[in-house]
């Protein structure tokens, strides 16, 4: 673990370490500005070298957390910050001349920008989307036209298992009947044998949502798997899974290091999603409870726990604040596992958690609270409330999950003053 830093120090340390590749890739990425920069909604930091991006994020965190966190550690960046997105969504449409086009939506519009050499998306996934595009004429597949509502193929989503190398292709279409589907599957699989499943998702509504509710598996199991910190997780077309698993693993490792588990603790994993953090933590804890509001995520979490033969974890589908209040009022026993947590891990959405959650959490006096945040502003806001309730942030560290964007993940350890 690196020592806490001042901005000057961090600059020095990175030079001393001589991480030549990072420097080079930082310089390279600042030179090779994407032709779609400023139009495509994908990157905010095009043209900014990677070292500068990290320094910028460090400064942002330092400003937000100074006076709130006792120690701030330098952000963990990527050795190669390009092509990290393991989930690629591409939209089909017609250009002004009525010719099919494939690309990403322009920022805040539904106008398609062609981005064949995207700098942050998985390269193989981009090749697969291009191959699908080139197969369209021979299969007489018409792309969907948003204006008229006619056409068949709307989107393609590619997801890659980072550790497993499995690829899932989801074709979002307006109709459940896919023309010559066997031949289409064969044509794709011949070129890309790493595609382990192909799913047809039906979305016939005039909506900006990519996926519709119904899916039909055309090939394989209908889902892929990936591994993080030695556990296996299922990724279905609609399930939430961090798009940068390499950095997610570092994020979770830091969170677990902060959690300081010895095998005896009761852990509460609030906002647990598909159970990833809790399942990994369960290997080093006595009992874990995951709380999550989204029904599909809870279903995936239960599946993931079974897949990993994790028996000391349970999931509760409930609003995290309500659960905390019930638990702190001693009514957690209403549902099995309602014990006071020794360690509380929370990973809320960008909007952060609630004052009521913080109040109830503090009342239970967990030994350690690990706050995993994807919104630095709300993290700072919530840390202030925690401090009022006697919990001080001992250390914090950023992890760069989204190079070339302004997004910033942070892990923070809080302990009670008394």
Q: Annotate each residue in 154-193 with x if it binds ligand SAH (CB under 6 A) or - if it does not, as one string.
A: ----------------------------------------
- Which one, 74 or 245, has the nearer CB to ligand SAH? 245
Q: Which residue has the tokens 């500068």?
A: 52
Instruction: Find where tokens 């919104």 sit.
Output: 375
Whole-number Å distance between alpha carbons of 173 and 187: 18
- Minimum distance from CB of 245 to ligand SAH (Å)? 10
Contact code string over 103-142 relative to ligand SAH, x by CB under 6 A: ----------------------------------------
Task: Output 347 or 400, the one with its CB closest to ligand SAH.
Answer: 347
Distance (Å, rounded) from C-alpha 384 to C-alpha 49?
33
Binding mask 276-305 vs ligand SAH (x if CB under 6 A, - otherwise)? xx-------------xxxx--x--------
Q: Which of residues 230 and 349 has its CB atom nearest to ligand SAH in the complex?
A: 349
271 binds ligand SAH (CB under 6 A): yes
Bridge partners of 410? 373, 398
* CB of residue 354 to ligand SAH, shortest distance in Å: 8
| In the complex, least distance from residue 89 CB atom to ligand SAH, rounded to whole angstroms | 18
Q: Which of residues 330-389 bind ligand SAH (CB under 6 A)?
A: 347-349
Write the CB contacts of 46 (distance below 8 Å, at least 6 apart in sequence).
Answer: 33, 34, 37, 38, 119, 404
The string of DSSP letters for 128-195 reads HHHHHHHHTTTTTPPBP-TTT---SEEEEEEEE-TTT--EEEEEEESSS--TTHHHHHHHHHHH-TTE
Q: Which two tokens stand for residue 78?
A: 């990527």
Q: Contacts with ligand SAH: how many residues (CB under 6 A)?
A: 17
Alpha-carbon distance 143 to 146, whole Å?
10
Q: Among the options 43, 173, 272, 374, which is catalytic?
A: 374
Query: Which of 205, 350 has the CB closer to ligand SAH?
Result: 350
Q: Which is nearer to ligand SAH, 120 or 281 (CB)?
A: 281
Nearer to ligand SAH, 93 or 290 (CB): 290
Do 373 and 353 contact (CB within 8 A), yes or no? Answer: no
Could you tell me the two tokens for 184? 């289409």
**Shortest approach of ligand SAH to residue 28 CB, angstroms?**
31
Closest separation between CB of residue 133 and ligand SAH, Å?
31
* Burial classification of residue 38, based on how many CB atoms lie within 10 Å of its CB (0-12 exposed, 13-18 middle, 19 or more buried): middle
Binders of ligand SAH in range 54-113 (CB under 6 A): none
- Diameter of the chain by CA atoms? 71
Query: Closest approach of Cβ 197 to ligand SAH, in Å?
Result: 21
Distance of CA 280 to the CA centre of its chain: 16
Interaction pattern, residues 186-225, with ligand SAH; x per rule: CB under 6 A? ----------------------------------------
Q: Which is nearer to ligand SAH, 129 or 276 (CB)?
A: 276
Q: How far is the CB of 217 from ligand SAH (least distance, A)?
A: 24
Closest CA relative to residue 341, chosen from 397, 399, 273, 264: 264
Verify whether residue 86 is a known catalytic residue.
no
Residue 199 CA to residue 371 CA, distance in Å, equals 36
Q: Which residue, 104, 192, 106, is CA-closest to 155? A: 104
Query: What residue number has its CB nearest to ligand SAH?
Result: 273
Touching ligand SAH, residues 240-269 (CB under 6 A): 240, 242
**Residue linked to tokens 């300081």:** 260
Q: Which of 24, 175, 319, 367 binds ligand SAH (CB under 6 A)?
A: 319
Among 336, 298, 289, residue whose Cα is nearest residue 317: 298
Q: CA–CA separation, 10 vs 55, rounded Å?
A: 8
Point out which residues bind ligand SAH (CB under 6 A).
240, 242, 271-273, 276-277, 291-294, 297, 319-320, 347-349
Q: Which residues are catalytic?
A: 374
């Amino acid at each position: 673990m690196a020592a806490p830093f001042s901005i000057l120090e961090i600059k020095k340390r990175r030079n001393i370490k001589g991480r030549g590749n990072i420097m080079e890739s930082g310089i390279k990425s600042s030179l090779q500005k994407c032709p779609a920069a400023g139009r495509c909604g994908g990157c905010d930091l095009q043209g900014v070298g990677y070292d500068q991006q990290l320094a910028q994020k460090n400064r942002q965190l330092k400003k937000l957390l100074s006076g709130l966190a006792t120690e701030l550690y330098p952000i963990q960046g990527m050795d190669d910050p390009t092509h990290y997105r393991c989930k690629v969504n591409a939209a089909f449409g017609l250009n002004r001349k009525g010719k099919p086009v494939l690309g990403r939506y322009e920022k805040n519009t539904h106008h398609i920008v062609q981005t064949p050499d995207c700098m942050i998306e998985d390269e193989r996934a981009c090749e697969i989307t291009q191959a699908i595009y080139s197969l369209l004429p021979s299969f007489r597949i018409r792309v969907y036209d948003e204006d008229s509502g006619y056409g068949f193929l709307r989107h393609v989503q590619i997801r890659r298992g980072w550790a497993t190398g499995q690829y899932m292709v989801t074709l979002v279409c307006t109709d459940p009947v896919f023309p010559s589907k066997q031949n289409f599957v064969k044509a794709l699989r011949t070129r890309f044998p790493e595609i382990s499943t192909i799913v047809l998702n039906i979305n016939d509504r005039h909506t900006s949502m990519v996926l519709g509710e119904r899916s039909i598996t055309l090939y394989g199991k209908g889902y892929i798997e990936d591994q993080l910190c030695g556990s296996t997780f299922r990724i279905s077309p609609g399930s939430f899974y961090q798009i940068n698993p390499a950095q997610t693993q570092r994020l979770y490792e830091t969170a677990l290091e902060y959690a300081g588990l010895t095998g005896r603790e009761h852990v509460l994993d609030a906002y647990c999603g598909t159970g990833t953090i809790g399942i990994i933590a369960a290997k080093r804890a006595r009992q874990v409870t995951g709380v999550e509001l989204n029904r599909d995520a809870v279903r995936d979490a239960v599946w993931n726990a079974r897949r990993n033969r994790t028996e000391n974890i349970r999931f509760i589908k409930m609003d995290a604040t309500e659960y905390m209040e019930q638990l702190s009022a001693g009514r957690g026993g209403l549902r099995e596992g309602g014990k006071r947590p020794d360690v509380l891990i929370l990973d809320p959405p960008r909007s952060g958690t609630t004052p009521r959650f913080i109040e109830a959490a503090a009342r239970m006096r967990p030994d350690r609270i690990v706050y995993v945040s994807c919104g630095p502003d709300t993290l700072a806001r919530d840390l202030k409330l925690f401090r009022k309730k006697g919990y001080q942030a001992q250390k914090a560290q950023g992890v760069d999950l989204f190079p070339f964007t302004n997004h910033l993940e942070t892990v923070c350890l809080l302990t009670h003053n008394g």
